[in-house]
Structure 1
Amino acid sequence: MRRLLSLLIVSVVTIGPAAAAGNAQKYDTATFATGCFWCTQATFQQLRGVVSVTAGFSGGHTKNPTYHEVCTGTTGHAESCNIVYDPKKITYDDLLEAFFKVHDPTQLNRQGNDVGTQYRSAIFYHNATQKKKAEYYIQKINEAKAYPNPVVTEVVPYTVFYKAEDYHQDYYNKNGDVPYCKYVIQPEVEKFKKIFADKLKTP
């Protein structure tokens, strides 16, 4: 699977230049939803070139939602992460590869035991290049039948991101002994580190 996704990345790179090429800003932003944002944050924080990962909410209609409101499934928001990265050190294509490895993109409105639209798989693109790359990547994954079922990831325009409450930020690193962290997030982080060993930050 890793080799297949890596080969797909080579194809995706030819679509267009990175958003931060030329005289553009120093850092770029990717916004992903992969289920529980604690897991998303804990894994993407490991990657070299990732400057910050903020847990929050995107894709809904409720302004300034609270975590408890989002949990009701009535806000339209998905638990998401804003990932600020240095395109000179890591590409959007690398982030897409990680995105499709940290969760199951074929599960509709759920990840494991977390069920609801707030746990849906989504890519909130910030520009036309991100949109094109995400759609191309999904097309190639489906054509290659990399997963038993088709990818159901939403590819939708980024509109707004609401930062989650402070206690959600860096949750795994601060609460490693909590059962959910120990038995759900930790195995995912360790698996992620093995898969992306060549892209991790230096300890």
Structure 2
Amino acid sequence: MSNTKKAYIAGGCFWGMEGLFRNRKGILDTEVGYIGGENENPSYKNHPGHAEGIEITYDENQTSFKEILDYFYRIHNPTTVNRQGNDKGTSYRSAIFFQNEEEKAIAEEVIDIVNASKKWDGKVATTLEPYTKFWPAEPEHQDYLQKHPNGYTCHFERFEESFI
């Protein structure tokens, strides 16, 4: 019997993160969208303050929030503010949208572990933001890299070994 939960993160262009997370053990579903912004019903052309994020549905019997964050820090550069690769602006910030105090504490713990590892040049700049609402992106953005295998992404596994 599965123990299904959701996690909400942002780390640059949502396509690349979705493409890497979708095949991880315990990940049941991924959806790209907008989170943490100012307007209702955001769109690709109008999402002020929203990050390009992903909603990860996972089976807690197979993976944990901590393991999801560990992988998150291995596939994007968390030390750049509002930037990943060629993408610049608050839409491309590194953020964890915590749903409760337990998730916030886990996120803080993982950030401390990543900083202590000194694998990245500089300190983690990931923002910890309370979850408000996740708005799914338009259909053409869902599963983008499956539809366009050579499509743009700035995400890749930078470290094979786990931080945790």
* TM-score for both structures, normalised by structure 1: 0.74
Structure 2: segments with no counterpart, 5+ residues = none
Structure of higher CA gyration radius: 1
Out of 10, 14, 17, the position equivalent to 1:37 is 14
- Matching of residues 37-56 of structure 1 within 5 Å: 37-56=14-33
Out of 125, 143, 149, the position equivalent to 1:170 is 143
Segments ≥4 residues shifted beyond 4 Å: none
Q: 2:114 & 2:25 partners in 1: Cα distance?
A: 25
- Counterpart of 2:27 in structure 1: which amino acid? V
Q: 2:160 & 2:60 partners in 1: Cα distance?
A: 21
- Matching of residues 8-23 of structure 1 within 5 Å: none
Which residue of the partner structure matches residue 70 of structure 2? Answer: 97
Aligned pair count reads 160
Q: 1:101 & 1:143 partners in 2: Cα distance?
A: 14
- Counterpart of 1:155 in structure 2: which amino acid? L
Which residue of the partner structure matches residue 119 of structure 1? Answer: 92
Which residue of the partner structure matches residue 78 of structure 1? Answer: 51
**Identity among equivalent pairs (%):** 38
Q: 1:177 & 1:82 partners in 2: Cα distance?
A: 23
Contact kept, 8 Å, 2:82 with 2:92, in 1: the verdict is yes
1:93 to partner: Cα distance: 1.2
Q: 2:59 & 2:99 partners in 1: Cα distance?
A: 15
- The structure carrying a bigger helix percent of its residues is 1
1:38 to partner: Cα distance: 0.1
Secondary structure of the 1:195 match is coil
1:143 to partner: Cα distance: 3.4
Q: 1:92 & 1:145 partners in 2: Cα distance?
A: 22
Which residue of the partner structure matches residue 63 of structure 1? Answer: 40
Out of 139, 149, 160, the position equivalent to 1:195 is 160
Which residue of the partner structure matches residue 119 of structure 2? Answer: 146
Contact kept, 8 Å, 1:29 with 1:126, in 2: the verdict is no
* TM-score for both structures, normalised by structure 2: 0.91
Q: 2:160 & 2:23 partners in 1: Cα distance?
A: 12
Contact kept, 8 Å, 2:73 with 2:114, in 1: the verdict is no
Which residue of the partner structure matches residue 19 of structure 1? Answer: none
Which residue of the partner structure matches residue 9 of structure 1? Answer: none
RMSD, aligned CA: 1.8
- The structure carrying a bigger strand percent of its residues is 2
- Counterpart of 1:176 in structure 2: which amino acid? P
Contact kept, 8 Å, 1:121 with 1:152, in 2: the verdict is yes
1:147 to partner: Cα distance: 1.7
Contact kept, 8 Å, 1:32 with 1:122, in 2: the verdict is yes
